[in-house]
Amino acid sequence: MKSNSNTDSKIQRRQFTKWVSLSSLSLALPISFTSCNFENSQKIDTTTELSDLKNVFDLEKLSSKVMGEDALLYLNGGADDLKTVKINSDAYQKIQIRARRLIDVRNISTNVDLFGQNLDNPIVLSPVGFQGFFHPDGEIATAKASVAKKHQMIVSSVSNSSVTEIANQSQAKLWFQLYPTPDRKITKLLLDRAEKAGCKVCVLTVDTPVVGNRERSGTTLMKLVQTGKLKMGNFEGILPDGMGFSDPGMTWDMIDWLKSNCDMKIVVKGIVTKEDAALARARGVDGIIVSNHGGRQLESNRATIDCLPEIVAEIKNGIPVLIDGGIRRGTDIFKALALGATAVCIGRPFCWGLGALGQQGVEMVLDILKAELIRDMQLAGTTSIEKISRNHVLKN
Ligand code: FNR
């Protein structure tokens, strides 16, 4: 294991670079992220733009004007031909809402109880790595926005700021997403740090034994890490030569190992079948996130919202089932909740806000989605999250 010296950090960055290029995780900008974000943001009249930002797609458009080309490729990219990225969103259009009438909808509650916490709303921020690539304030800005707007944030293992820095600077009650290395000593260090930073939930990502085939990758992220302009947050100083962030040898035994090596609730992220939902539950996990990594791993042509019903049926209210992938509207959130999700997670949308306007942009995205959800609940005649039922949607 490495000490935290400058030399060692350089070596680790080189190793990271090697791993990134081998795994094709390298996805990004031909120009320095700071100059790119700030030069361009000066070119746009943000006052005019702000008044036009009505939905998350407007933030997406703004991010495409502000962010550099390679950062956009990293953020918006996916596996193979991006069919799973697209179908994740498209599948929501095939579900119809059955609205109920003449219900008093003056007071709406969006609260949900999840893993021993009472959350203000069911819209959680998915773990997204390398947020410093989208905006210099990176995860700190996202965490501050999540606190200001009362949303739960999941910090990625590959965040640029460490989970400790993020917690200290934002006062957020974070959940920690885990990519285990093949060396459990390193994983244990990460878990200890996350627990020390106050994390009560560990989200184990299980869809990344290797990195997906992302063909449109640049070299800028790699260079930023190599030159130390972007830090590796949690892995800084502890990653041995040549080791990557995924463990192709990981099996279900990992759940037992996690349970005996930390006190956090264990949630598995990346489940897409009822068979694996059953195995996860049998191992005693505390929750499941139905996810295909936003279409960045296996090009499966199966939307997560199409995976959700078989998993909910298998779990039968036993443990919380969350979902992410393609959620862009309040109606998408409503449909996922009606089909049995306890809460939803969003990835790219908050990053569009971050890339476009930093913390303010993330806050705008969160405001927009929550306002849409509340309005949709009112229009459908549902006054609380638990009142959104299977009868409120039609799905073939
Ligand atoms: C991700 N995702 C992800 N997942 C994870 O478990 N750990 C990670 O570090 C990352 N990093 C990451 C980077 C980027 C740029 C994206 C877009 C996504 C996947 C993420 O948590 C989530 O599953 C998807 O983003 C959800 O899909 P939408 O909302 O982006 O469509």
| Residue bearing the bigger pLDDT, 244 or 329 | 329
- Provide the pLDDT for residue 92: 98
Q: What percent of the chain has pLDDT over 70?
A: 87
| Residue 121 exposure: Cα atoms within 13 Å on the Cβ side | 26
Question: Tens of pLDDT along 58-112?
Answer: 999 999 999 999 999 999 999 999 999 999 999 999 999 999 999 999 999 999 9
82 CB-contact burial (10 Å; exposed 0-12 / middle 13-18 / buried 19+): middle
Q: pTM of the predicted model, to two decimals?
A: 0.91
146 CB-contact burial (10 Å; exposed 0-12 / middle 13-18 / buried 19+): buried
Round to whole Å and give the CA distance between 261 and 184: 10
Q: Does the CA dihedral 131-135-140-141 come out positive or negative? A: negative
Q: Which domain holds residue 37?
A: 5-395
Q: 3-state class of 45 per DSSP?
A: coil
State in Å: Cα 278 to ligand 1 middle: 24
Which atom of ligand 1 is the closest one to the Cα of 76? Answer: 17
Find the length of the chain.
Answer: 396
Q: For position 103, which CATH number holds?
A: 3.20.20.70
Round to whole Å and give the CA distance between 262 and 268: 15
Question: Tens of pLDDT along 286-299?
Answer: 999 999 999 999 99
Q: Is the pLDDT of residue 359 over 90?
A: yes
- Provide the pLDDT for residue 46: 53
Beta strand pairing call for 117-119 and 123-125 = unpaired
Residue in 116, 62, 108, 3 with CA at minimum distance from that of residue 349:
62
Ligand 1: residues with CB < 6 A are 74-75, 88, 126-129, 156, 158, 177, 205, 269, 291, 293-294, 296, 324-327, 346-348
Question: Tens of pLDDT along 220-241?
Answer: 998 998 898 999 999 988 887 7
For ligand 1, atom 6, the nearest C-alpha belongs to 205
Round to whole Å and give the CA distance between 115 and 379: 29
Task: Report how many helices (DSSP H) and strands (DSSP E) the chain contains, helices first.
Answer: 16, 12
Hey, how many other C-beta atoms are within 10 angstroms of the C-beta on 130? 26
331 CB-near residues (< 8 Å, 6+ apart): 92, 97, 372, 376
Question: Tens of pLDDT along 9-56?
Answer: 443 443 333 333 333 332 222 222 333 343 344 445 555 468 889 999
Pocket probe for ligand 1: among 19, 33, 83, 128, the residue whose CB has the most ligand atoms within 8 Å is 128
Q: Is 293 a catalytic residue?
A: yes
Number of independent structural domains in the chain: 1
For ligand 1, atom 23, the nearest C-alpha belongs to 293
Q: What percent of the chain has pLDDT over 90?
A: 81
Pocket probe for ligand 1: among 60, 63, 293, 322, the residue whose CB has the most ligand atoms within 8 Å is 293
- Provide the pLDDT for residue 345: 99
Mean pLDDT of 246-252: 95
Mean pLDDT (the chain, rounded): 89
Residue in 351, 291, 343, 352 with CA at minimum distance from that of residue 320:
343
Round to whole Å and give the CA distance between 186 and 84: 32
| Token pair recorded at residue 96 | 């119809």
